[in-house]
A = this chain, B = another copy of it.
C-alpha cells in the first residue's frame, strides 16, 4: 500500500537519471545538445519508468494541438468517406490529424459536436454545406476559429467555401436529357428539408428548361429509396422517358428496379445521376452522371484549413469544376414506354 504508482512524469525521470528536468526535456527535443553519456542515462530512466510525454502538457506550451475537426452528415455514404479520405491524406502531409464527427444533417447536433471538438482542442473545423445554427457561428467567432464549408460554393458566404456549383450540376444533367429530346422527366431526390445542397439542386431545375415537364419524387437518400422511386416512376407516369437522380445512390436503386421490371435502359427510359461514384462507371449499363470532384475537394479543404491554422491566412473560396460524364444509360426518348400510346 505504498506509492500507488501513477504514471511517471518528467520530474520522476529527471530524479531517476539524476539530472534536471531541463536535461530530460532536451533529450526529447534537442538530443544533440546533450552529452552522449547523460543522454543514455536519461533514456534508460525513461525506459525503466515506462514514461511517455504528456500530449496535453506539450500542447499547453506550444499552444498547438495539431488536429482539426470535420463535421459531416454521415460516414455511411461513399461521398463523405471519399472527402475525408482526401482530407486525411493531405492533412497528414501538413502533420495534422483529423477528428471526425457526424451530424445526421441536423444543425443542432452539428453545433453540439462542434462544441465537443472545440472542447478537446480542435484548431480548425470543416463543415458541410451552408446550413448552420447561430450557436455554431457563435462558437467559431468566439474562438476566432478557422472554419471552412465544403460541398458548396458561394464567395459571399460567412465561411470560406470550397466546393462545386450544385446549381450547375443539376442543370447540366437536365440539359443533357432535354437536349436529347426528353420532355417529361422524373426527378428523384433525397430529403430536401434538411439538406441545402439537395435544395439548391432542386431549385436549379425549376424553369431552367421550360419545355420540359418535371415530376418530383422525394425518397430517403439510399439505394432502397431509389428502388421506391423506381417503382413509382414505373407504375405512375405514362410518358416519362427519363429519370434524373440528384444522387448516384438513388440512380442505382432506380436502375435496379427498372431492370427487375424488364424496362430497357436507355432503350425505354434514360437514367442520369449526379455524383459519379466509383461504382457508377461499372453499373450495367454504365451510368451517365455529373462528376463531382469530392476527392480533390478533400485535398483542397485540407490545404485551405492547414494554411489557415498554420499561418493565420484566411483561404480564398474555391470553385471546383464539375463534368458531365456521358456514358451508356442515356439516349434519345424510346418509342415505347410500357403502353405504346398513352
Q: Which residues of B contact A100 (CB under 8 A)?
A: 84, 88, 98-100
Chain A, range 164-199, C-beta contacts under 8 Å to B: none
Seed contacts A56-B65, A85-B102, A223-B278; 9 additional CB < 8 Å A-B pairs: A50-B142, A65-B120, A67-B99, A67-B120, A75-B84, A89-B102, A97-B101, A253-B282, A284-B284
**Least Cβ distance of A65 to chain B in Å?**
6
**A144 CB within 8 Å of chain B:** yes
The contact sample of 13 A-B pairs, CB cut-off 8 A, is: A7-B63, A55-B119, A56-B60, A56-B65, A78-B78, A88-B101, A88-B102, A97-B101, A97-B116, A100-B100, A224-B282, A226-B282, A256-B283
Minimal beta-carbon separation of A284 from chain B (angstroms) = 4
**A residues within 8 Å of B by Cβ?**
7, 50, 52, 54-60, 63, 65-67, 69, 74-76, 78, 80-82, 84-85, 88-89, 92, 95, 97-102, 113, 116-121, 142-144, 222-224, 226-227, 252-253, 255-256, 259-260, 278-279, 281-284
Closest B residue, CB atoms, query A69: B97
Cross-interface CB contact of A59 among B56, B252, B255, cutoff 8 Å = B56
Closest CB of chain B to A165's CB: distance in Å? Answer: 25
Residues of B within 8 A of A259 (CB): 284
Query: Helix, strand, loop or mixed for chain A's interface?
Result: helix
Tell me the bound Cα distance from A54 to B56 in angstroms.
10
Whole-angstrom distance between the Cβ of A15 and the nearest chain B Cβ: 19
Partner of A92, one of B60, B95, B113: B113
**CA gap between A253 and B95 in the complex, in Å:** 36
Contact of A252 among B82, B101, B260, B282 (CB under 8 A): B282
Q: Which residues of B contact A59 (CB under 8 A)?
A: 55-56, 59, 120-121
Q: How far is the CA of A76 from the CA of B87 in the complex (A)?
A: 12
Nearest residue (CB) in B for A54 is B60
Q: Which residues of B contact A101 (CB under 8 A)?
A: 88, 92, 97-98
Bound Cα distance A117, B98 (Å): 10
| Residue on B nearest A81 in the bound complex, by CB | B81
Asked whether, in the complex, the Cβ of A85 is within 8 Å of the Cβ of B75, the reply is: yes
Give A147 Cβ to nearest chain B Cβ, in Å. 14
Of all chain B residues, which has the CB nearest A226? B282
Q: Of B75, B84, B224, which one neighbours A82 at CB under 8 angstroms?
A: B75
> B88 near A117 (CB under 8 angstroms)?
no
- Which residue in chain B gives the minimum CB-CB distance to A47? B142
Bound CA span A55–B99, Å: 15
